[in-house]
Amino acid sequence: MGEMTPEEHRLAVLIVDVLNLEDVKPEDIEPTEPLFDGGLGLDSIDALEIAVAVAQSYDVHLKADDEETQAVFSTLQSLASYVAQQQAN
């Protein structure tokens, strides 16, 4: 299992809490494993819930019609990287 950065861990906690993933602990989420299509097996509704939670928690907004959004949501690592990049701007 890969080492999680503090930001990845905070986002993992957010994902587990927002989606009520009772059988998943934040530390069980592999930073480089897919969040969708395998991995956690999340769906588009889950993505929407995560996007709303990220907007509320980090004031970082993800646009559904942005081509980059699918890449941002591909892994926990990519999501954490995107949030950090947006907060730096």
Tell how far CA 44 is from the center of its chain. Answer: 13
**Per-residue pLDDT tens listing for the chain (89 residues):** 568 999 999 999 999 999 999 999 999 999 999 998 878 888 889 989 999 999 999 999 987 677 788 899 999 999 999 999 998 88
- Whether the CA torsion 49, 52, 55, 58 is positive or negative: it is negative
Instruction: Tell me, yes or no, if the pTM score tops 0.85.
Output: yes
* The pair of three-digit structure tokens given for residue 47, joined into one six-digit string: 């993505």
Domains of the chain and any CATH numbers: 6-88 (1.10.1200.10)
Angle between helices 6-18 and 76-88 (to 10 degrees): 110
- Taking alpha carbons only, the member of 44, 32, 77 closest to residue 52 is 44
